[in-house]
Structure 1
Amino acid sequence: MGIYVVDSNFFIQAHRSVYPLDIAVGFWEKVKQLAHDGKIISIDKVKNEIYPNGDLLSNWCKDNLPKNFFRDTTEVLTAYAQIVNWIESKRTHYSPAAITEFLGEDEADAWLIAYALTNSVTIITHEVSDPSSKRRIKIPDVCLPRGVRFINTIDMFRELGERF
């Protein structure tokens, strides 16, 4: 099993649609427990996607996640450079806008993959592979050629044997 590193959409989709903070209290208590047990972590770039919103979700994260939950990505620069080079080699497939978005300064996806690659952790994301997509680069399509493992939230809970 190991450690799981969660994408922004782990939090955002749960909060906005599937597990609202005011209704699915058990889900959020389980997330808090897993975070404090060190079973799930994330990266600083994900924090930067969530915290500026100043909404209920960002406040929940500030109040409930351990201080070391969002890991520093400066240690993964070599892996990030490999991902950038691979993306650049795909310019004939992906649109310039897709590449610009994926490699954007405020975009966490490439850094998340670099972190997983460097630390041999599994990414938790709701993105689904779509290799024919030219307008958007999906996390799974960058993970697959690198052998980086990714699963969704429910599969993570099943692997951990967690219920809520």
Structure 2
Amino acid sequence: MSYLLDANSYIQAKNAHYRMNFCPGFWDWLDTAFQLGQLSSITMVYKELSDYGDELSDWVKIRQAQFDTIDDKATQEFFGRIAEHVMSMKLPTDPEKIRFLGGADPWLIAKAATTGKTIVTHEVLAPDNSKKIKIPNICKDFDVNYITSFDLLDVLQARLVIERP
């Protein structure tokens, strides 16, 4: 099984649980999991993260190879299916639909759908009357698997261990 990380998986790790100076083992583990072919993300997530101008941006910029392209025909066509589906939804409003379609999330879902990968996100299912579109809702609509970062650590049996000298 292989996984695609949502931008919030990186951002929340950096801002909360696995701050880069506090827990470098997490970031080393991400590199190792990439090298083993277990995880990646997409170029639109790379753009979001690299443009921010912080320590995560610096980390991402030297790891561009960890971000898959979305310009293949299958991903492009699946994105079209997602766009049609989103625009046909009764809720939320059109500005929210356009905001969602303009970001990385629908592309992440399209890439996961066409490659059989599982999305890693901290988003949760939103109720049907939500004013926001969330990755899990669209994943559910298209039968695309998703898990949280914490589930990913369990599934891949990550070990972030403090070694004493």
Q: Same fold (TM over 0.5)?
A: yes
C-alpha offsets along residues 41-67 of structure 1, whole Å, 9 cap, x if unaligned? 11000001100112100111223x3x4
> Could you say what secondary structure the match of 1:77 adopts?
helix
> Could you say what secondary structure the match of 1:111 adopts?
helix
> Could you say what secondary structure the match of 1:143 adopts?
helix
Question: Which residue of 68, 72, 75 maps to 2:69?
Answer: 72
Provide the rounded CA distance (Å) in 2 between the counterparts of 1:61 and 1:36. 15
1:109 CA displacement: 0.1
Match of residue 155 from structure 1: 151
Q: Cα 1:134–1:95, aligned 2, differ >3 Å: closer, same or farther? A: farther
Give aligned-pair identity as a percent.
33
Query: Structure 1: which 5+ runs fail to align?
Result: none
Match of residue 101 from structure 2: 103
Match of residue 142 from structure 1: 138
1:143 CA displacement: 0.4
Match of residue 22 from structure 1: 21
Code of the residue aligned with 1:95 in structure 2: it is T
| CA RMSD, 1 decimal | 1.2
Provide the rounded CA distance (Å) in 2 between the counterparts of 1:5 and 1:114. 11
Provide the rounded CA distance (Å) in 2 between the counterparts of 1:25 and 1:44. 24
Match of residue 82 from structure 1: 81
1:117 and 2:147 correspond: no
Normalised TM-score (structure 1): 0.92
> Could you say what secondary structure the match of 1:101 adopts?
helix
Code of the residue aligned with 2:85 in structure 1: it is W
1:68 CA displacement: 2.5
Provide the rounded CA distance (Å) in 1 between the counterparts of 2:13 and 2:157. 19
For the Cα contact (< 8 Å) 2:91–2:131, is it kept in 1? no
Provide the rounded CA distance (Å) in 2 between the counterparts of 1:7 and 1:103. 15
1:153 CA displacement: 0.6
For the Cα contact (< 8 Å) 1:5–1:116, is it kept in 2? yes
For the Cα contact (< 8 Å) 2:87–2:94, is it kept in 1? no
Query: Structure 2: which 5+ runs fail to align?
Result: 161-165
* Number of aligned residues: 158
Query: Structure 1 segments of 4 or more deviating over 6 A?
Result: none
Code of the residue aligned with 1:99 in structure 2: it is K
Q: 1:125-140 to 2 correspondence within 5 Å? A: 125-140=121-136
